[in-house]
Structure 1
């Protein structure tokens, strides 16, 4: 069993956070996913959104949304996004605790 993250970084259009946030919300969350949105200190229009999920890689692929559903979600967000600087699925390979 591994921990996985799906992560996207975006620069939003000025003042578009609330509208983008509504458009970003999927119709339903896959079971067991913890989602997070971060806003850059000093630039609240720069956001990183990611989810964490524990399971197998096959399980990760199986829970990803249908391409048509994801395309529609991306289209809902597009009017509020200036640019995208990161996008992908990642495996957590190390955890550091202090």
Structure 2
């Protein structure tokens, strides 16, 4: 099974700032080593979870220490109330055939 390297960030933002936050959140360039990324919003638009898949932890760490990421985080800061983040290793789970669902 293929192992994945994943960075997850969950943020709670100020009410009514989703559009401004989303503009600030998008990186100006595609980070080197990032394979793909997903974003998930709560129904009220005040919680956003980002999930990005990386070639390695080192590639993710290099992006997080970069100037473009520092600038991106500064642009998001006025909208963020709370932030949690972490780096994980894992793999896709097999779902047994014939499972309800």
TM-score (norm 2): 0.74
User: Which 5+ residue runs of structure 1 have no aligned equivalent?
Assistant: none
TM-fit CA distance, 1:31: 5.4
Instruction: Kindly indicate which of the two structures has a greater share of residues assigned to strand.
Output: 1
Residues 24/93 of structure 1: CA separation in 2 closer, same or farther (3 Å cut): same
CA distance in 2, matches of 1:80, 1:62: 27
Residues 19/6 of structure 1: CA separation in 2 closer, same or farther (3 Å cut): same
Counterpart selection for 1:34 from 36, 39, 44: 36
CA distance in 2, matches of 1:79, 1:96: 41
Counterpart selection for 2:90 from 89, 92, 95: 92
State the match for 1:68 in structure 2: 67
TM-score (norm 1): 0.76
CA distance in 2, matches of 1:93, 1:80: 33
RMSD (Å) for aligned C-alpha atoms = 2.2
Q: Deviations over 1:57-78 (max 9, x none)?
A: 3xx4135314433222111000
User: Which 5+ residue runs of structure 2 have no aligned equivalent?
Assistant: 97-101
Count of residue pairs brought into register by the alignment: 92
- Larger Cα-atom Rg: 2
